[in-house]
Structure 1
Amino acid sequence: MTAPAWVLSGAVVLVAAGTVLSMKVGARPLSWAELSDGLLRFSGGQADFVVRHVRLPRTLCGLIAGTCLGLAGTVAQGVTRNPLGGPDTLGVNSGAAASMIAVMTAGVGSLAGYVWFGFVGGAVAALAVYAIGGSGRDGVTPVKLALAGAAVSALLTAVTSAVVLLDRDLFARYRYWIIGSLARSDLQTVGQAVPFAAVGVLVAVVLVRRLDVVALGQDAARSLGARPGLTRGAGLVAVVVLAGTATALAGPVVFVGLVAPHAARALAGTAHRWVLPLSGLLAAGLVLLADVAGRVVIAPEEVHIGVTAALVGGPVFLHLVRTRKVAAL
């Protein structure tokens, strides 16, 4: 077995451990017998209710949202050839959140109803960031793109916060989601999210070989018969669908989509056939473990995943911005 295969196997173990902890740990600790009974022999007891209607949907949402964020970050960094690219630094998460909050105020309450607006908002935000980051003589640079993304994200977050704070009912219903949380997950939402996530994953997988070619540079890609423009367009679709789905499930969770691809490349090299699945697994594990940590750090209260993920990803992002390698790109 090659080194990347061993790393991928280790990531699978990490996700499995995160899944088990997510099912067992919380305000109501569960024994192995209670967990087994709740999953296989549901009788309507308190422990069974916690397993089937609280822990299971929360864990599934974490797995789907984390995987989508990891894949979105890998594709975003691949098509832009920008190590600072990601669904949050490109404004996709904030754009999706802002547009979904806007339609929620109009009474749309189901994921299947508002996720389409999330896709549109994420795409518009990403295009705005790219346009701003590409202005000036130097064109698009990693640092300019990161700064443009930070500015657009801050503006959209401020607008979202203003809308929610002015509507008491909306604030009461979605304050957990806006921060970034899995606390109000349910199986119906999981079922609605699966088709969207599957489409995004499929597009990302189709792009694996093209991402390796695009990484060689635009001229080299054209000489090899690739079409960089088509790859970037398809990549943007994948990023918007994946990040929009993750945002609809867990809110605008930041830095996960940025950090996971860097960790994957550090562990398995630069070939996207390894980086893409490894990023998805690492991001899923990170989301689950961050959610578990948020449940126990100030128990019985919770720290939402948007906070715990930012505490991990923020310092990594600052390190990436400061490195000479990034500045020289």
Structure 2
Amino acid sequence: MSRTLATRRPRADDPGDGASLPSADRPARRRISPWLALGLATVLLALAAVASLFLGTRETDLEAVWAVLRGQGSDYMREVVAAREPRTVLGAVVGAALAASGMLIQGVTRNPLGEPGLLGVTSGASAAVVTATAFLGFSGGTAMVWVALPGALLAVAVVHLLGRPAGTHSVVPLILAGAVISAVLYAYIQAMILTRPAVFDSYRYWVVGSLAGASYDTLAAVAPALVIGLALAIMVVPGLNTLALGDDVATALGTPVSLLRAGALLAATLLAAAATAAVGPIAFVGLAVPHLVRAMVGSEHRWQLPLCLVLGGALLLGSDVLARSLAHPELMVGVVTAFAGAPFLLLAVRRGTVNA
């Protein structure tokens, strides 16, 4: 019996052999090379960008679009391509920002359900849009960016003030504060749109999220927040590997835990707030893409960040192409992202590659 127990080899499907082990101690799964994953994601992004330029609700000829890209073509095709170019660029940027924000939030909070709405970004931007529509008469366009961005940042600031009790480094109070602030703001939003029909008519188009009407002016308005957020993300992402070992271990290794966490959350806030202000709330990208990336390259955050940027842009652009091609008038891209990304996330869950 002793020899049998000593030589018994653990089975992968035996819940008693590895279920109680922390994720860092489980046997490493076979994953693809990070360079290969990044190359495949880049190819997907390039294909999605090309499809975004060539496909849409208007009938276009591939040769005519190609002629416009070479500086030729008819005036009609020039107008079509001129409308699709900023939409393609903004879609790639917003998808990248949301995916990177979700990765940072999941890394800092060690919460597999972490996404930009966790910190009150979505509710803050939505409340600001509703307020501006009700009391200032805003009805869309680039002006909404200047309203939604400070609203998102203000909501996150309140969440941080309420979720940082003295004498603790835990992120649990921060998450609870985000849930409370979001609930209060959504109650305010519901009250406003139910009592003011004009506000509801304007808000219901913005809240789903759409790339329709995208312009370079919108991108320019949120560019400072995107650049600062990305720079902070690049600075803090190496420290997330140490933070994943726990606050005590990270502190013993000389990592400034509080400063690192604050920098990562600020970067995530800026990226998510800018993306939400530009096109409205886009669900699922910030939640699903980090899980897909971890299933591909593992827990190394220095690889997760660039892959999230590329794959997030590809997912959102691909969803936008489907939104334009499947229905007339086109669907909102926020509706399609869930249907486009959900199968991949569910496949990763079924294979057991998604964990905290």
Name the TM tier (shorter chain). 0.7 to 0.9
Equivalent residue for 2:337?
Answer: 309
Equivalent residue for 1:24?
Answer: 54
Q: How many residues align?
A: 313
Deviation at residue 313 of structure 1 after TM alignment:
5.1
Is contact 2:41-2:307 (8 Å) kept? yes
Distance 1:240 1:29 in 2: 39
Paired residues for 1:308-327 under 5 Å: 308-312=336-340, 316=345
Name the CA shift for 1:119/1:71 in 2 (closer, same or farther; >3 Å).
same
The SS at the match of 2:117 is coil
Equivalent residue for 1:242?
Answer: 271
Gaps of 5+ in 1: none
2:257 to 223, 228, 236: 228
1:12 to 26, 42, 67: 42
Deviation at residue 20 of structure 1 after TM alignment:
0.9
Post-superposition CA distance 1:274-299 (Å, at most 9, x none) = 111111211111111111111122x2
- TM-score normalized with structure 2 length: 0.77
Deviation at residue 100 of structure 1 after TM alignment:
3.8
Paired residue type of 2:41: A
2:108 to 79, 102, 119: 79
Distance 1:61 1:199 in 2: 17
Whether 2:33 is the aligned partner of 1:3: answer yes
The SS at the match of 2:63 is helix
Deviation at residue 115 of structure 1 after TM alignment:
1.9
Whether 2:317 is the aligned partner of 1:288: answer yes
Equivalent residue for 2:17?
Answer: none
Name the CA shift for 1:267/1:206 in 2 (closer, same or farther; >3 Å).
same
2:96 to 57, 67, 71: 67
Distance 2:99 2:184 in 1: 24
Whether 2:269 is the aligned partner of 1:269: answer no
Distance 1:253 1:14 in 2: 20
Gaps of 5+ in 2: 1-31
Name the CA shift for 1:100/1:40 in 2 (closer, same or farther; >3 Å).
farther
1:198 to 227, 230, 240: 227
Deviation at residue 207 of structure 1 after TM alignment:
0.7
2:82 to 39, 49, 52: 52
Paired residue type of 1:179: V
RMSD value, Cα:
3.3
Larger Rg computed on CA atoms: 2
Identity of aligned residues (%): 37
Name the CA shift for 1:126/1:20 in 2 (closer, same or farther; >3 Å).
farther
Post-superposition CA distance 1:285-322 (Å, at most 9, x none) = 1111111111122x2222211111233456748x97xx
- TM-score normalized with structure 1 length: 0.82
Query: Please, which moves more after superposition, 65-74 or 38-47?
Result: 38-47
Equivalent residue for 1:111?
Answer: 145
Post-superposition CA distance 1:41-99 (Å, at most 9, x none) = 3777222111112x112111111110100110111011112211110244322222222
Distance 1:216 1:266 in 2: 19
Is contact 2:323-2:331 (8 Å) kept? yes
Distance 1:162 1:43 in 2: 51
Distance 1:48 1:212 in 2: 47
Is contact 1:97-1:247 (8 Å) kept? no
Name the CA shift for 1:294/1:155 in 2 (closer, same or farther; >3 Å).
farther
